[in-house]
Structure 1
Amino acid sequence: MRRGYSIIACAVLVSFGVLAPHLYAEPLRWHGFFEYAFGGRWVEDQTKHDNYNMLEQRLQLKTDHFFTGEDLLGRWKSQFVFKGDFLVDEYFGGKTDFDLRECNMVMSPTHFLDVRVGRQVLTWGTGDYLFINDVFPKDYESFYIGRDDEYLKKPSDAARFSFYSDMANTDFIVIPRFEPNTLPDGQRLSFFDSFQRGISGTNSDRYLVEPGWQAKNFEYAMRVFRNFGSAEGALYVFRGFDPSPRSYLNEADRELFYERQDVFGASLRGPFAGGIGNIEAGYVHSPQDDHGDNRLIENSMFKAMAGYEKDLGHDLKIGFQYYYEEKLDYSKYAAALLPLDYFWDQYYHLLTNRITKLFKNQTVAVSLFTFFSPSDLDGYFRGSVSYDLTDQWKMIWGVNIPWGGDTHTAFAQMRRDKNVYIRVRYSF
């Protein structure tokens, strides 16, 4: 149903464009790619297939078109943007699907205002694979099976208003319909299921209850940002829902839900010690558990991270990050737990490292990214090699290795989902 509404909204935008007198003064020019992808599993599991978790063919088509319009305010410039993927997913028996990635209109009615309305990918913040104030939906299933990084960010149906001034710039976003994160559900990837009290696959039978589509459940986000010399600072506010279901609606019926969430944060990014440094922090307020003593609802949290990246020359780049998370009102949370409840730690620490090296006139790229949590003693290794055979043909080989000794921590729960993958892409 959600996808149907998005396609209908896109059709309305396209119809508007057809009727606008200046939209198709020139024919649309289409670009995109065709890609074949396969990801083989290392470990047998209770998922739908034991020997692979990705086998698909994908065709992406995209276009954009600039045009001018005219109304009572005078002439204005606009842009129509479309991007959609046609997918044949052999993992689910050759199932065909269509993923509408972008379909929106960008209008500039005045010199200080841009308006983007429709389906779009929303993102901000300073982290590399780490997110504090970027609470927009993510697709972690794609992340773990080896799809392109583009698919980590999910699109939203939204209206984005960008205001520009000499003092500061402001983005204000209204999201009328909640879009959750795509998480492992046991079909393609195993994960920790608290109802099963362990790592589960197709035997998982939990239910995720989403907020209804009504005015009181609209989500709002705002970013105010400006430059301070060569550095950029930003303040963030978000009011909506946690895109990952961390709270229990009904334990007996195995129901989880997406609790309300307010996020207030700030970031700074700029030159530092010969490279680029960034810091970011956020206070995540849980309004449905103000006092932190409800064991079924996620507590409020404080999150912070710092990062540094540097170009060492000779096509070699490195980056490091430290991430910190603290569960607030922890004593009340601990006092409310029942004897059989899982006990989540008060503090969480995470270190990341990225190394990227280019070879052969920058046609070969080797990338290594590692996550390691000294508090949970688990981690995740992502490695890839891409080779631009020609301007059109590209091959990517990669590996995903989550590890850890526990069953419920972030990466250890994914330890059976290790895979190696290959993608072959033809761009046009």
Structure 2
Amino acid sequence: MKLYEDLLWRGLIKDVSNEEEAKKLLNEESVKFYCGFDPTGQSLTVGHLVQIVRMLLLEKYGHTPIVLIGGATGLIGDPRQTSERKLLTLEESLQNADKIKMQLSQFLNPQNSIFVNNYDWIKNIDMISFLRDYGKHFSINYMLAKDTVQKRLDVGISYTEFSYMLIQAIDFLHLYQNHDCKIQFGGSDQWGNITTGLELIRKIEGDKASAVGLSSPLLLKADGQKFGKSESGALWLDSELTSPYEVYQYFINASDQDVITYLKTLTLLDKEVILDLEDKLKHAPELRAAQKMLAYEVVKLVHGQKAIDEALRVTDALFSGEFSDLTESEFKMISKTLDTLRVDENLNLIDLLVETKLAQSKREARQFVTSNAVSVNGEKISDIEYELNKDNSYYNQYVMIRRGKKKYALVVMK
């Protein structure tokens, strides 16, 4: 299967500016393409995996990725549907840009890719040049017609955010002229910005310019909810913000309606493998083979083999209640997932049950202990005077408290 058809099958193409030219560039040539990431936060989220996977697919087929970090556009803020973003300082934007560049370098080898920061050229454009050389090519009517602007007209949009599309258009023109970049990819919410870039290239380079733009659908759950949100908020690609175990749990609990879409858009699995998993889902959904493969592949892609092995061991330990074989790094992973209480002195188990919210009161805590419903590091405790100390902890600090079959809390002794 050729690349363009593979992208279509995976659901990674929604809009395309010139399908004939796009097929030619993707299927028959080896070209440079770019995708931009604004450093509005210190980490990308699982939702960015759609673009990362698409870049990896194009790289696999022989194309060269240009990874654009928006040190300049991050200072402006792409218009959101609801309200204006909080402006970052230059220092914050550039610090975030460095972190995101390092994050993306884990997926795309810098030796086979081109990493750029649009602050490097946008900072050199003065206001007069911006208005004369770029702003003159677009009418207000053209800019008002863009979907991102239309959605903000009722609540208002500042000139700062209104100008964002022109700055992104300059990016495409700069990469086209200086890196021979022929393709820009982005989510469907970026389509207005992408086409503005194409229009700027056409007006400056002429009608024979061969640049094309493509967008992918925004990834939503089957019920229409936003993808990539857990009960605690966004799922970050930074393991310090979201542990590999949390990512694994999110995807292993994917619904039957969502899992095949996620396999197509968030993994590099071949079509034959995904079709086989789809068949298993249809005939033996109780095995959850598709969900297990999805969770495994996403964590492996984002964090590596060691992290998925650790996530699986933590999953097994929380299911079985046996923690003695876990490594110190695996306990650290648990500490980012479970309710964790940090203490600097020996405490009575009854008090700890209340403080970790495994019991609502000391009276209830005593009932749990005397009825053999509480275990500490896998050992049943029936003594209401039991005290935790470092002598009965893992790695001289970690204590797992379990109430019943599924209620856990972690105590970390300083």
Please classify the TM superposition score into its range, dividing by the shorter chain length: under 0.3
Larger RCO: 1 or 2 (CA < 8 Å, sep 6+): 2
More strand by share: 1
- Between Structure 1 and Structure 2, the one with more helix by share is 2
Normalized against structure 1, the TM-score is what? 0.25
